[in-house]
Amino acid sequence: MKEIILCKYGEIVLKGLNKPYFESALTKEMKFRIAPAGEFEFFHSQSILYITPKNDSCDIELALELAKKVFGIATVARAAECEKDMDKIIETAVAYLPDKIRGHRSFKVTGKRGDKRFPLTSPEIATAVGSAVGDLLPEVDVDLKNPEITAVVEIRENCAYIHAGSERGAGGIPYGTCGKATLLLSGGIDSPVAGYMMARRGALIEALHFESFPYTSERAEEKVAELASLVCEYTGRMRMKVISLTEIQEEMTKKVNEEYFTLLLRRSMMRLAERAAKASGCMALITGESLGQVASQTMPALVTTDNAVNIPVLRPLIGMDKEEIIEISRKIGTFETSIQPYEDCCTVFTPRHPKTRPELDRVLAEEAKMDFKTLEDRAFESMRIREIRRAIDA
């Protein structure tokens, strides 16, 4: 029996004339992302991407797991393929479905006649297949209203497909179709979620991490690389730039008023991030900031950090509660790593009384007390680049 993977498009279905662009980006991304599962053929029609194994060594289960994390797909299903002939369909269904339905309390079969030339209607297909499968499963009830599992027979353009229900895909827009941005990635809970959310909307993500060795450890940087690698489950790969803030921070402790420490550091981080972004064609910065979460994320504080740069700053978490952010971080699998206790450059020199309502002219006056420009030039020159992969590719 031939098994394939059916991926139904998400938002791409709404794209008018641009649909082919998104479709081909999706297919290309899918090819790359499921490659560890073997060699497959790809075909798309009527807002479905059909993924067919080229040989017996393909791992369909693995391909399905990987496909579920590709943005642009609403649902995925592993399905048996057969000729569009009712006898063949029933023969395939009785061979394929019982194993998948057994163990459930109730089931039903639905028909989807995507090809209107097929002689039977959707309910007729469902009844014929449902009764044939039901005969083999006397212990499982047929429940048309509220079944525990719904098997589906889809009649499509070329073939019929039989499956035991589909699973949710990753949603969103194909990765990398909406422009490139630099994600300021810390070891916390928020920034990996922010990166995931923008990647899901089609942004191609490059990460930038600031360390402050020896105040932050090598292990702290590895934790951030691990978070980037977990986000790569959804993006396939990611470049991570690393810049050291050690000199800048040491100079700040000598020269500037402690109350302004965090704000000035954040402005410096933003300037460096803008340079790193522009150097690789990124058109925006992404941060994990959420309004009011900490002193540096009040409205006046955000205005003060934005004022340091000439590049849009995207903050996908801005209106979210911590609980909501944590929920996503658990869902995407970054939470457990994020909560490991390692130091961050933002927390090694924290003021006891940070400014929550900074005035820009006071901030600028404080900033003028030291030569940020020269120190930032040096920090930028010593930037390191790491290529991050998914665990499966590493």
Q: Does 173 interact with ligand ATP (rule: CB under 6 A)?
A: no
User: Strands 160-163 and 149-155: what pairing?
Assistant: antiparallel
Binding site for Mg ion (CB under 5 A): 190
Comparing CB distances to ligand ATP, the nearer of 143 and 343 is: 343
CA angle, 212 then 218 then 224, to 5°? 85
Q: Among 27, 150, 186, 235, which residue interacts with ligand ATP (rule: CB under 6 A)?
A: 186
Which residue is at the shortest CB distance from ligand ATP? 188
Comparing CB distances to ligand ATP, the nearer of 75 and 293 is: 293
Q: Does 191 interact with ligand ATP (rule: CB under 6 A)?
A: yes
| CA 361/CA 303 separation, integer angstroms | 12
Minimum CB–partner distance for residue 188 and Mg ion (Å) = 5
Q: Does 209 interact with ligand ATP (rule: CB under 6 A)?
A: yes
Comparing CB distances to ligand ATP, the nearer of 89 and 189 is: 189
Minimum CB–partner distance for residue 292 and Mg ion (Å) = 11
Minimum CB–partner distance for residue 220 and ligand ATP (Å) = 9
DSSP 1-57: -EEEEEEEESGGGG-STTHHHHHHHHHHHHHHHHGGG--EEEEEETTEEEEEESSTT
Cβ(7)–Cβ(52) below 8 Å: no
Minimum CB–partner distance for residue 233 and ligand ATP (Å) = 19
The pattern of x and - marking residues 334 through 363 that bind ligand ATP according to CB under 6 A reads ----------xxx-----------------
| CA 79/CA 332 separation, integer angstroms | 26
| Contacted entry of ligand ATP, Mg ion, none for residue 376, CB cut-off 5 to 8 Å set by kind | none
Comparing CB distances to Mg ion, the nearer of 291 and 383 is: 291
Comparing CB distances to ligand ATP, the nearer of 190 and 274 is: 190
Q: Taking each helix axis from N to C terminus, what angle separates 322-332 and 190-200, rounded to the nearest 10 degrees?
A: 70
Q: Does 189 interact with ligand ATP (rule: CB under 6 A)?
A: yes
Residue 168 region by backbone torsions, left for phi larger than 0, else alpha for psi between -120 and 50, else beta: beta
| Contacted entry of Mg ion, ligand ATP, none for residue 233, CB cut-off 5 to 8 Å set by kind | none
Minimum CB–partner distance for residue 384 and ligand ATP (Å) = 13
Helix (H, G, I), strand (E, B) or coil at 265: helix
Minimum CB–partner distance for residue 351 and ligand ATP (Å) = 13
Q: How many CB atoms lie within 10 A of CB 103?
A: 10
Q: Does 190 interact with ligand ATP (rule: CB under 6 A)?
A: yes
Bridge partner list, 50 = 6, 43
Residue 45: what are its φ and ψ, rounded to 5°?
Answer: -160, 145
Residues 271-290 that bind ligand ATP (CB under 6 A): 287-289
| Contacted entry of Mg ion, ligand ATP, none for residue 210, CB cut-off 5 to 8 Å set by kind | ligand ATP
Comparing CB distances to ligand ATP, the nearer of 82 and 346 is: 346
Minimum CB–partner distance for residue 186 and ligand ATP (Å) = 3
Q: Count the site residues for ligand ATP by CB under 6 A.
A: 18
Each as own residue / partner, the long-range contacts of residues 252-260 (CB below 8 Å, 24 or more positions apart, any chain) are 252/349, 252/370, 253/349, 255/369, 255/370, 256/366, 256/367, 256/369, 256/370, 257/366, 258/351, 258/352, 258/353, 259/351, 259/353, 259/354, 259/355, 260/351, 260/355, 260/358, 260/362, 260/363, 260/366, 260/367
Q: Does 185 interact with ligand ATP (rule: CB under 6 A)?
A: yes
Tokens 């067919």, located at residue: 52
Binding site for ligand ATP (CB under 6 A): 184-186, 188-191, 208-210, 287-289, 293-294, 344-346
